[in-house]
Amino acid sequence: MNPDPRDPDTAVDPAHPQAQDVPSRRVRRPRPLAQEVLLLAGIALVLAVVIKAFFVQAFYIPSASMNDTLVENDRILVQKVSYWAGRPHRGDVVVFADPGGWLPPQESHKAGNLVTRGLEAVGLYPTGGHLVKRVIGVGGDEVRCCDDQGRMTVNGVPLNERSYLAPGVEPSSVAFDVKVAPGYVWVQGDNRSDSADSRAHLGDPGGGQVPVDDIVGKVFAVVWPLDHAKLLRTPATFGSVR
């Protein structure tokens, strides 16, 4: 039926003659709330797993071995990006998996129930079963303690470590002279008098050296408690070591 221009119910506006041909649009019905929540939770879970695997992971400090840089019960964040195409540097504070027998049972902090274990698996709960120390020597370095002034040396260069050693703590009470193997690092805690680090495992297989492949990443921040929150930077101590 052709529209009658005299009939207001069938007349077509000359300025919009196409209006009569526009079909009615279907209204899109929103998803149910439960479905939206499940979808968002799934996306969040995937993102958490990816972030933990490739970017950032949370850890817990169970001891005083890194005082005062990191103190007991600190929650720290470890970034993995720096080691995607590179290696740890002297002075980096790193988290690494227990090379074997380094970690006493009381420091093996684990999530206590099903919920916290699930959160731990996706990087939303501080992870245990690891150690945190400072890299002193990398593959090819000669690390020795101590020179005639009581200083640690790397490749013959004496280290001024006062920017990170705990107050009143000497560089080492253990004498040693090691050559770090390629693919390994030599690590020590900042609280040298209370740190079972590479020095304490000189007699173990590997001579106290940690495989680079065991390193999770580099500590870049303390996020809890708030009164100890800070960013960590690699000190200038090793700038003259070659």
Catalytic residue among 52, 63, 80, 133: 133
Average pLDDT of the chain is: 82
Q: pLDDT tens, 53-82?
A: 557 888 888 889 999 999 998 999 999 988
Please say if 65 is a catalytic residue. yes
Hey, what domains does the chain have and what are their CATH numbers? 57-109+130-238 (2.10.109.10)
Amino acid, res. 129: G
Asked if 117 and 111 count as a contact pair (C-beta separation under 8 A), the reply is yes
Is 133 tagged catalytic? yes
The model's pTM is 0.75
Residues of the chain with pLDDT under 70: 1-29, 31, 41-54, 105-128
User: How many angstroms separate the CA atoms of 44 and 144, rounded?
Assistant: 48
**192 in Cβ contact with 171 (< 8 Å):** yes
Distances (CA, A) of 88 to 8, 70, 112, 169: 81, 19, 32, 25
Which of 63, 65, 172, 195 is an active site residue?
Answer: 65
What pLDDT sits at residue 6? 57
188-210 pLDDT, tens digit per residue, is 999 999 999 999 999 999 999 99
Measured in whole angstroms, how far is the alpha carbon of residue 101 from the centre of its chain? 22
